[in-house]
Amino acid sequence: MSVLVVAEHDNSEIAPATLNTVTAAAEIGGDITVLVAGSGSAAAADAAAKIAGVSKVLHADSAEYANGLAENVAPLVVALATGYSHVLAPATSFGKNVLPRAAALLDVQQISEISGVVDADTFVRPIYAGNAMATVKSSDAVKVITVRTTAFDAAASEGGSAAVEAADAKGDSGLTSYVGAELSSSERPELTSAKIVISGGRGMQNGENFAMLEEVADKLGAAVGASRAAVDAGFVPNDYQVGQTGKVVAPDLYIAVGISGAIQHLAGMKDSKVIVAINKDEEAPIFQVADYGLVADLFEAVPALSKELDG
């Protein structure tokens, strides 16, 4: 067996999601090759070579890979996939965009967002917003898989010494072009890999009130998240959304503030180790999954929490 992991990176650093994907690859077994497709991405390729457990890095460095456009990356993955038993990518917006395109070109039915490896052909994946877990077996010659990163530990980013080999670029498809991006910048940890997450919902009432959560987040070293309702209402940007159709998180501590606990929200956070809910409605469904529930008005409880953390 041999596994090709399609790395997510920003041309200089490897995204943490890649490390979780390498662990999933290790559970499948066999040699692990990491593909770094980028432009001016030597630093990312070198970083990939240091990941523990990786035996080879394939480095395709060319202008058409600068922004990870699926139309350009997928044919590269397809060209390299023969020779591997499995092709993996993290189930991030990058992996979800690129990998199904490669799978279709390979005539393979992709297995999306696996949360467990049973054996080389058989995988567990959540369906119906995580309300059911399906065990599926693939008969395709190459298995094409995206990985739910919260279900696998991160591989060590240091300790490996893989060889970096250049891979031929496949050219620009000419179908799409990159215009630009508006990325949220924050000093806080990244939502999907933070140890602590504090999220606000519709109960926050407006974007300014999120400052209360940010204050607590900074005291705890936490990331800030939100429910769909809070994002739809424009309190916070889209990349804050936790849930079935947003980001999946599984921190050591998840604090839900003014969030009712709809199935779609729970789907994104119910694998957190410890869940705290602050809600003024004691009947709110969020309390059914909370380890510690506080029935209180958040406008009193959150400032009090911030103060208590100083003590």
Partner 1 sequence: MKVLVPVKRVIDYNVKVRVKADQTGVELANVKMSMNPFDEISVEEAIRLKEAGTATEVIAVSLGAQQCQETIRTALAMGADRGIHVLHDGDLEPLAVAKMLKAVVDKEQPELVILGKQAIDDDANQTGQMLAALLGWGQATFASKIEMGDGEAKVTREIDGGLETISLKLPAIVTTDLRLNEPRYASLPNIMKAKKKPIDQYSPDDLGVDPAPRLETLKVEEPAKREAGVKVADVAELVSKLRTEAKVI
Ligand X SMILES: Cc1cc2nc3c(=O)[nH]c(=O)nc-3n(C[C@H](O)[C@H](O)[C@H](O)COP(=O)(O)OP(=O)(O)OC[C@H]3O[C@@H](n4cnc5c(N)ncnc54)[C@H](O)[C@@H]3O)c2cc1C
Residues at the contact surface with ligand X, assessed by CB under 6 A? 127, 134, 201-203, 227-230, 241-246, 258-260, 262, 264-265, 268, 279-281, 284, 297-299
User: How far is residue 155 from each of residues 20, 52, 158, 284, measured CA to CA in Å?
Assistant: 6, 6, 9, 38
Task: Name the 3-class secondary structure at 282.
Answer: coil
Please give the residues from 251 up to 310 whose contact with partner 1 meets the rule CB under 8 A. Answer: 252-253, 263-264, 270, 273-276, 282, 287-296, 301, 304-305, 308-309
255 with 195: CB under 8 angstroms? no
Query: Among 11, 62, 85, 110, which residue interacts with partner 1 (rule: CB under 8 A)?
Result: 110
Query: Does 242 sit near partner 1 (CB under 8 A)?
Result: no
Q: Which stretch binds partner 1 (CB under 8 A): 44-52, 126-134, 160-168, 205-213?
A: 126-134
Q: In this structure, what token pair is assigned to residue 266?
A: 């729970």
**Closest approach of partner 1 to the CB of residue 43, in Å:** 19
Rounded Cα distance, 237 and 231, in Å: 6
In the complex with ligand X, the residue whose CB is nearer, 216 or 230, is: 230
Q: In this structure, what token pair is assigned to residue 211?
A: 């400052």
Query: Does 220 sit near partner 1 (CB under 8 A)?
Result: yes
In the complex with partner 1, the residue whose CB is nearer, 162 or 277, is: 277
Binds 279: which of partner 1, ligand X, none (CB < 5-8 Å by kind): ligand X
58 with 170: CB under 8 angstroms? no
Binds 227: which of ligand X, partner 1, none (CB < 5-8 Å by kind): ligand X
21 with 149: CB under 8 angstroms? yes
Q: In this structure, what token pair is assigned to residue 272?
A: 């957190």
Q: Which of 76, 82, 47 is nearest to 64 (CA)?
A: 76
Rounded Cα distance, 189 and 264, in Å: 24
**Closest approach of partner 1 to the CB of residue 159, in Å:** 27
Q: Terminal CA-to-CA distance of the chain, rounded, Å?
A: 54
Secondary element (H or E) of residue 111: strand 111-114
Query: Among 183, 208, 211, 283, which residue interacts with partner 1 (rule: CB under 8 A)?
Result: 183
Binds 196: which of ligand X, partner 1, none (CB < 5-8 Å by kind): partner 1
Calculate the CA dihedral of residues 31, 149, 192, 62 and round it to 10 degrees.
50
Query: Using CB under 8 A as the criterion, what x/- string covers residues 10-49 for binding partner 1?
Result: ----------------------------------------
Task: Classify strands 143-147 and 122-127 as parallel, antiparallel or unpaired.
Answer: unpaired
Q: Which residue is nearest to ligand X (CB)?
A: 243
Please give the residues from 48 up to 107 whose contact with partner 1 meets the rule CB under 8 A. Answer: 67, 69-71, 74, 92-94, 96-105, 107
> In three state form, how does the secondary structure of 55-95 look?
CEEEEEECHHHCCCCHHHHHHHHHHHHCCCCEEEEECCHHH
Please give the residues from 158 up to 177 whose contact with partner 1 meets the rule CB under 8 A. Answer: 173-177
Binds 38: which of partner 1, ligand X, none (CB < 5-8 Å by kind): none
Query: Using CB under 8 A as the criterion, what x/- string covers residues 193-212 for binding partner 1?
Result: ---x----------------
